[in-house]
Amino acid sequence: MSFFSDIIPPILDFVRQHQAWAPLIVFVLALLESIVGLSLVVPSTPIFVGVGALIGASDIAFWPIFAGVASGGFVGDWASYWLGFHFKDKVMEWKAVKAKPQLIERTKGFVEKWGMAAVFVGRFVSPIRSFVPFVAGMFQMPFWLFQIANLSSALAWAYVLLAPGAKLLRDYVG
């Protein structure tokens, strides 16, 4: 058993047993997964798919959970953007960045070429989910363009992760 397979079932059980806390729980998970560096250790994507299935198999309300996931992702990407914007020069000195400077350059090229679309699409690619907003901040993508892409992608991301399980199980069980 891996760490992730050990931690996901207890979280889903907790959400099932404490439904009133579910929006806050998914908010925190989405926030942590969207902050640069933490995204690699927070397994929220499979948890959100599982919560979607819980919604479909029970009386847990969809929209509060949706709001928690979307707002957590939005705030987390905003934080990653802010970190990149404010610590640009220092980031280039980090040991991990110096070891793989091509990651910064490739992501910079992706963001420069595709702009808002890079922020939107980056949300759906797990390894770079938090890295794209970070680099967008580092290279000073205009704030409002970033936030438009951030908000629209957070809403789409939350829906894509939760709705299939909620809909399929409701149709199957109901």
The whole-number pLDDT of residue 15 equals 81
The residue type at 2: S
pTM over 0.75: yes
Identify whether the C-beta of residue 70 lies closer than 8 Å to the C-beta of residue 158.
yes
Q: Which residues contact 119 (CB under 8 A, 6 or more apart)?
A: 77, 111, 132, 133, 136, 141, 146, 149, 150, 153
What's the pLDDT at 159? Answer: 95
pLDDT digits (tens, 9 = 90+) for 46-65: 888 888 888 887 878 889 99
Tell me the pLDDT tens digit for each residue of 61-110.
889 999 999 999 999 999 999 999 999 878 777 776 777 778 778 888 99
Give the per-residue pLDDT at 105: 84
In the chain, domain spans:
3-173
**Confidence check: pLDDT of 22 > 50:** yes
pLDDT over threshold 70, residue 173: no
Q: What is the pLDDT of residues 110-159, one digit of tens each?
A: 999 999 999 999 999 877 888 899 999 999 999 999 999 999 999 999 99
Residues whose CB falls within 8 Å of the CB of residue 53, separated by 6 or more in sequence, listed in order: 165, 166, 169
